[in-house]
Amino acid sequence: MTPSDFSSEPLAAGDPAGGIRTEAYTGAYYPDLDGLQRQIGIKDDGRPGPLVLITAGMHGNEPAGVRAVREVLESLRNTPTGGRIVALAGNLGAIRRGVRHQGQDLNRLWTAENLQPLGGRAPEDDTPDERELRALFSTIEAERDAARAKAQRVVLIDLHSTSADGGAFSVVPDSIPSRRLARDIGLPAILGLEERIEGPLLTWLVSQGDTATVIEGGQHDAPRTQEVLRDGLWVALSHVGVLPEHDERVDRARVLMRASCDDVPEVLDLVYAHVIDGETGFQMDAGWSNFMPVQLGQGLAREHGQPVTAPIAGYMLMPLYQGLGTEGFFLCRKVGGAWLLASRILRRSWFEHMLRLLPGVKALDTRAGHVTARRGASTLTTGLLHLFGYRKHAPTGETTVWTRRPQ
């Protein structure tokens, strides 16, 4: 299947990526992805509905997402759909080599510090991963500009897989529309990514007011991973109005997605990320998989020749069993239904103005979505800020500015 199977439109005019945009990669690592281009496919029947951006292969050793979106687009060939679906490949150079990235993690580059210089820098001065960023950013922005001109809602579905075995899950920013999407998909939903990781595509788009979720389908090469990603796409496309609610493929996918969740909590909060670099000699202990229970002080890995133990009790997430990566593992805790209900109610009420009464809060700007608090604010203050959706935080001298995503 080629992009022309669904649309003869080129990528955004003025795309500065040069050969990266149109070159057919023919690496032997994933033979079925020979000839893969940035545009995997477009489905647009001219009917009302949202712009749905589907990204796959943001990491080059995660081919299941590309295969899943190809399968869905092929199945949709003769199905009337609402809105516009645009499916894009992420790191083409890394996919060609079968590696996570080419020196920089493409899914950690979506920050103002990395995006703003692109306009003033010659493309030939880009690193390989910056070339990928430039091409993908240009295409996404052209699509978003066109959608905004038509007052279309914009939704991102970013497809991934993990190096470890274990259950599939979704990663969701703490905004109400994104939470609703992730909960409907039916996999365990992980909150708190924006606190622990800088620069994912997901976080950048949600900061612009869009709806977004990541679907992590399972282990990179497991046959079931492509199926989970495919089924997650079916449910997501129905949720946002591209497909009717009771499409046969959607009904089947909902059943399969819920059956794959085992006994994992429906919603978890990512509360710890173990950040690493290439100099630490980090090595995860064998046998860990997603959602295994972790006890306080339990041995998890080795680093600098010393044991790495769990700083908190919780659930294991994404233990690193591949050569490249910036986080060795994550730890999560269950989020109760009462917290979720309270957060939905409070974020749409006048109670938010009472945050200024919390210990350590210095200033509150609800219109801009900012709270300024003393650095090292109490657990009570931090917990209530989370309840109202203030998760992203940046230290500035003796204070910390907390930011809430558009709700």
The DSSP line for 150-207 is: TT--EEEEEEEEESS-B--EEE--S-HHHHHHHHHH-S-EEE-HHHH-S--HHHHHHH
Q: Give the other-Cβ count within 10 Å of 345's Cβ.
A: 10
Q: What pLDDT does 399 receive?
A: 86
Smallest Cα–Cα separation from 253: which of 277, 229, 286, 275?
229
Going from the N-terminus, what domains does the chain have, and what CATH number goes with each? 3-259 (3.40.630.10), 267-334 (2.40.50), 337-404 (no CATH)
Ordered DSSP codes for 238-250: HHTTSS-TT-HHH
Q: What pLDDT does 10 receive?
A: 32
> Which amino acid is located at 106 in the chain?
L
Angle of helix 223-239 relative to helix 176-185, nearest 10 degrees, comes to 130
Give Cα separations from 34 to 220, 226, 309, 354 (angstroms).
Answer: 18, 18, 43, 57
Digit-by-digit pLDDT tens for the chain (407 residues) are: 333 233 323 333 333 332 222 233 333 378 889 889 999 999 999 999 999 999 999 999 999 999 999 999 999 999 999 999 999 999 999 999 999 999 999 999 999 999 988 888 888 889 999 999 999 999 999 999 999 999 999 999 999 999 888 789 999 988 889 999 999 999 999 998 877 888 999 999 998 999 999 999 988 889 899 999 999 999 999 999 999 878 999 999 999 888 777 788 999 999 999 998 767 789 999 999 999 999 999 999 999 889 999 999 999 999 998 877 788 999 999 998 888 888 888 877 777 788 877 888 887 777 777 788 888 777 788 888 888 878 777 778 788 888 877 76
In whole angstroms, what is the distance from residue 260 CA to residue 350 CA? 40
Q: What pLDDT does 407 receive?
A: 66
Give 46's DSSP letter: S
In whole angstroms, what is the distance from residue 188 CA to residue 75 CA? 26
Smallest Cα–Cα separation from 371: which of 355, 383, 359, 357?
355
**Environment class of 16 (CB within 10 Å of its CB; exposed 0-12, middle 13-18, buried 19+):** middle
In whole angstroms, what is the distance from residue 214 CA to residue 156 CA? 8
The residue count for the chain:
407
- 130: which strand partners? none
